[in-house]
Amino acid sequence: MKTMRLSGLCGMVILALALGLGGMALGQTLPRRTGMVQVIPGLWVDQAASAAQVAAVQGRIAAAAQVIAQRIGPPGQPEWWVCVSPDCDRRNGMQARGMTYGASLIALGSSGAKDGGVYLHELTHATLHGALPMGGLFSKQLPLWFDEGVAVILSKEPPAAARPKACAKVAKVALPRTAAEFAARVGNSPKKALPIYTASACTVRKWLKQGNRLPDIPALLRAGRTLP
């Protein structure tokens, strides 16, 4: 299934309000693209970025896509909006390291733009969303905790949540099914989010130990299966 690209603020508003996926998307201000330049089709980068920084961004996107291809299957093809400076963050409302809006858009703040794990985490979301009808709009097939658990396992981001040893002492927390639930519980606090990321990854690991496989997930979603 080709990923859906929506243009304009209206499309992004629909995605953010209807989706219930994509990590913190519902808890964050919708991004803007002020002061960015189009490097290649589908990639907009902070105008303050040097040639070396642009090349590094492209390399991290390519590396993330390669991992997705090896571990899950064909990667999603979202549009990328990437800040490399705090000024760009402020202009565009980039309040998180990375945000994914359905299958269509990934926006990275300047701190996330330096971390290859963030690219892989967010591209995992976009790839899974792309397997859902209409890029995830109105779908309840993919609970947020499962979406996050897969992204943590593949990207090892955040690192503390990705360590298999963390599952030995994982806190018992209610796993949020939607981004609205997640945002209501953690706000903008990484400290509050970490137990949810950890529990989500550990629960997905249990699912995998039952004989399920990561490469099967997109096909299950396309077939209308509600996971797990």
- Cα-Cα-Cα-Cα torsion 52, 53, 59, 63, nearest 10 degrees, comes to 150
How much is the pLDDT for 26? 42
What pTM was computed for the model?
Answer: 0.87
Predicted confidence at residue 188, as pLDDT, reads 75
Query: For residues 194 and 158, what is the distance between their CA atoms, to the nearest angstrom?
Result: 8
pLDDT at site 28: 47
3-state SS, residue 94: coil
Confidence of residue 29 (pLDDT cuts 50, 70, 90): low
Tokens describing residue 210: 């039952």
What pLDDT score does 72 carry? 97
At residue 138, the pLDDT reads: 73
Tokens for 220, please give them.
């299950």
pLDDT value of residue 21: 37
Mean pLDDT, the chain, integer = 87
pLDDT at 190: 82
CB count within 10 Å of CB 188 equals 12
List, for residues 71-107, the tens digit of each pLDDT value: 999 999 999 999 999 999 999 999 889 999 999 999 9
Average pLDDT over residues 129-154: 90
Place of tokens 């004989």: 211
Lowest mean pLDDT among 34-48, 65-79, 125-139, 197-211: 125-139
Q: Mean pLDDT over residues 190-206, rounded?
A: 94
Q: Which of 34-38, 73-77, 160-164, 189-193 has the lowest mean pLDDT?
A: 189-193
On the question of pLDDT at 15 being above 60, the answer is: no
For every residue of 149-188, DSSP letters joined together read HHHHHHH--SHHHH-GGGGGG----PPPSSHHHHHHHHTT
Render pLDDT for 39-59 as a digit per residue (tens, 0 to 9).
999 999 999 999 999 999 999
